[in-house]
Amino acid sequence: MIRSLILLAGLLLLLSVAGGCLAHPTQPDPGPIDIALTPTIKELARHVEILEDPTQRLDLAAALVSVDWQQNRYDNLNFGASSAVWWVRFDLSNDSGQDRRVVLEVDWPLLDWLDVYLIRTGRVIDAWRTGDQRPFASRPLNSRDFAFPLEVPAGQSRQVVMRLALSDGIYDPVPLHLWAPTAYTDARQWDNLLTGAYYGALLALLLYNLLLFFSTRERNFLNYSLYLSLLVLWNLGFLGYGYQYLWPDHSWWNNQVDLGLSWLPHIGAALFVTQYLETRKRMPVFHWLILGVTAGMGIPVCLALADSLGWIAPSAWVVNGAMVMSSVLALLFLSAGVLAVRQGFRSAYWFVFAWSFLTVGVLIYALTSFPGLLPTNMFIKNSVNIGSALEFLFLALALGSRFNQLKDEKLAAERHAVELQTAHANTLELRVQERTSQLREALLRIDELARRDDLTQLLNRRAFNEIYRREFSRSRRENAWIGFCMMDVDHFKRYNDHYGHMAGDEALRRMAGVLSDSLRRPADYAFRLGGEEFGLLLVSAAFPQRAIGLIEQIRTRILDLAIPHVRNGAGVVSSSFGLVLAHAPDLYSPESLYRDADLALYRAKQEGRNRVVVVHPQESRSADIPDD
């Protein structure tokens, strides 16, 4: 594992250095820059002169006449740890026949103070005072970094002078670019697109793991989400997007972001690592070291806050102390992961692999602080973001592995508990459980029998009283159609008189079988209400054609039974149906719906029997109901 990490780090470093060497010349190129010949993008650092002002007292006039100007030797401005103010100057010329514009980009959004002067023959013709300790509105262009529009008329030249200063004296490498205006706009769009993809991917991981936490209540997912959200918040400030979009009017707050907010991701990381690796149980020494170093990082943060409030003098060792403690904490995390792997903790493999990406990315970025060691290219500039994106991706895989492991352990523990319970259960307890189960089943059977008609096995009048009102209320709640149908066997009294009551009972059983076989939906019910009278309850959103067709099908199937009935006009047993269909918002009650179905049945008998009469509640009318 350790050998693999070393090889991975070496490979990334090699690619970064090789890419930088291919992309950037290293020899200085003094002399004015002819913007008429400026390509789409031009690296400026090797064209500029720099002046160190350790006293921090030089003004523009004194700086211009100083004899200590030196040609910059690197492909970016790399001042390292320095409490001095730095001056930068270069000349622009326009040898073409038309006025030209370019955009000067200072690509480091954490510069505290940045003054830019445009000079013609020793006189300042334009100036900007900006920086991340000044309001965002002081920037001439709406950009996360610093961009300045420069115009040079045809046949003229201009000198550009910049003053750079920091409160903490820790300079990151500062790339300088000179752009054609359209090329600058295109580059910003690509930069915003790539950064948006980065934040979008992290946001998707954040939401996904929050959902996993709410569904599983596994704390590892919550700690991962906390760590991820805090890192994104710090990253917004580190890249300048926070000052551009979130707090553009709060320069004091923006000054605290880089160091102050950097503590929060470390807290989130410590909570995640200690929970994920179970350091308190597996490695208590590492556990308390991690918590101690994490708490200790608050000291530089508090000192930096006191510095910003003017309570103490600014000092670079505050920032250096925070960086050292951050590095120690990262090594503790990685070492704890390696130790967990050696202990046989299966899920720690993914953790070590994930954490290695961030460690290598931060290492590459840190090495850029050494002048001339690493050139600046796209990979080195974004090494922290690339490393963190890969880290969170593989940490998500690590969480999945850990969750599966916890689930397996839980299942194994449950299985063991069940085996112990079964092994120690006595015969009396088993018999009690068995008798309790039998009693419960008997009670359920008794209740079911009490709800069934003995002859037809359909639901009886007792069940009808319960189900009818319940389904009526549900149809109103769900805005559904409801249908209630009264069914009566035609001239059944004559059938009993002619064929006998035993034959009548058999005929009722056969017709009940037709009803049971026809009503297969859970929301359709068949009841024997008494004698030869049946009730059919239908609840559905697919009305009314389905209900009418279903009742008509039942009527036909009863005829198809071909039960002889010489005293009926059809020659066989037939039935009459009164069906009421209504929508939930209609004004009716359970009683009025029942009454209307009864009246519809009466109409079916009046009109010759062996038919289905369909009405709505408002179509019903008072009428006498016959006995047969």
Give pLDDT, residue 370.
Answer: 65
pLDDT per residue as tens digits for the range 371-429: 666 666 666 777 777 887 888 888 887 777 777 776 776 777 777 777 777 766 666 67
Look over the chain and give the mean of its residue pLDDT values, rounded to a whole number: 82
User: Cα(2)–Cα(331) distance, rounded to whole angstroms?
Assistant: 13
Contact 209, 399 (CB under 8 A): yes
Q: Which of 352-361, 505-514, 519-528, 613-622 has the lowest mean pLDDT?
A: 613-622
Using alpha carbons only, what angle is made at residue 137 by residues 136 and 143, rounded to the nearest 5 degrees?
65
More confident residue, 424 or 150: 150
Count the helices and strands in the chain (H runs, E runs): 20, 16
Backbone angle region of 244, left / alpha / beta, with phi > 0 → left and psi within -120 to 50 → alpha: alpha
User: Cα(359)–Cα(341) distance, rounded to whole angstroms?
Assistant: 18
pLDDT band at 558 (very low <50, low <70, confident <90, very high): very high
Contact 475, 539 (CB under 8 A): yes
Q: Which of 107-111, 463-467, 497-501, 586-590 has the lowest mean pLDDT?
A: 586-590
At residue 443, φ and ψ (nearest 5 deg) are -65, -40
State mean pLDDT over 433-440.
71
pLDDT band at 16 (very low <50, low <70, confident <90, very high): very low
State mean pLDDT over 472-477.
87
State mean pLDDT over 33-44.
73
Q: The tokens 């948006």 sit on which residue?
A: 196
Helix (H) or strand (E) holding 461: helix 461-477
pLDDT band at 460 (very low <50, low <70, confident <90, very high): very high
DSSP per-residue string spanning 212-245: HHHHH--HHHHHHHHHHHHHHHHHHHHTTHIIII
Give pLDDT, residue 367.
Answer: 73
Give pLDDT, residue 18.
Answer: 44
Helix axes 383-424, 219-238, angle to 10 degrees: 170
State mean pLDDT over 475-497.
91
Residue 190, Cβ neighbours under 10 Å: how many? 10
User: Does the structure show a pLDDT above 70 at 318?
Assistant: no
Helix (H) or strand (E) holding 430: helix 427-450
Q: Which two tokens stand for residue 521?
A: 């939906």
pLDDT band at 19 (very low <50, low <70, confident <90, very high): very low
State mean pLDDT over 199-228.
87
Write the DSSP symbol of residue 459: B
At residue 146, φ and ψ (nearest 5 deg) are -115, 125
User: Does the structure show a pLDDT above 70 at 626?
Assistant: no
Helix extents (H) in 343-382: 348-367, 378-381
At residue 73, φ and ψ (nearest 5 deg) are -105, 0
Q: Which two tokens stand for residue 368?
A: 């850029």
Using alpha carbons only, what angle is made at residue 47 by residues 137 and 63, rounded to the nearest 5 degrees?
65
By C-alpha distance, which of 10, 80, 78, 9 is closest to 387? 9
Q: The tokens 């994920």 sit on which residue?
A: 276
User: Does the structure show a pLDDT above 80 at 84?
Assistant: yes
- Percent with pLDDT over 70 in the chain: 82
pLDDT per residue as tens digits for the range 298-314: 887 777 667 666 665 55
State mean pLDDT over 63-72.
92
User: Does the structure show a pLDDT above 60 at 3?
Assistant: no
User: Cα(173)–Cα(490) distance, rounded to whole angstroms?
Assistant: 100
Residue 495, Cβ neighbours under 10 Å: how many? 24
Single-letter residue type at 272: F
Q: Which two tokens stand for residue 139?
A: 């920037």
User: Cα(317)–Cα(400) distance, rounded to whole angstroms?
Assistant: 41
User: Cα(201)–Cα(393) distance, rounded to whole angstroms?
Assistant: 9
Give the pairing type, strands 146-152 and 100-106: antiparallel
Domain 31-179 belongs in CATH node 2.60.40.2380:
yes
Give pLDDT, residue 151.
Answer: 92
Domain boundaries, the chain: 31-179, 202-408, 455-619
User: Does the structure show a pLDDT above 60 at 105?
Assistant: yes
Q: Which of 22-26, 267-271, 432-436, 494-498 has the lowest mean pLDDT?
A: 22-26
Q: Which of 82-91, 158-167, 285-294, 425-434 has the lowest mean pLDDT?
A: 425-434
User: Can the peptide bond before residue 544 be classed as cis, meaning omega within 30 degrees of 0?
Assistant: yes
Q: Which of 246-250, 303-307, 596-600 has the lowest mean pLDDT?
A: 303-307
Long-range contacts formed by 215-221: CB under 8 A, 24+ apart: 216/403, 218/403, 218/406, 219/275, 220/272, 220/275, 220/276, 220/399, 220/402, 220/403, 221/399, 221/403
Residues 6+ apart with CB under 8 A from 322: 259, 262, 263, 297, 300, 301, 304
Same fold, 31-179 and 455-619: no
Give pLDDT, residue 510.
Answer: 94
Helix (H) or strand (E) holding 33: strand 33-34
Instruction: Report, at the CATH architecture level, how domain 455-619 is classified.
Output: 2-Layer Sandwich (3.30)
Active site members: 532
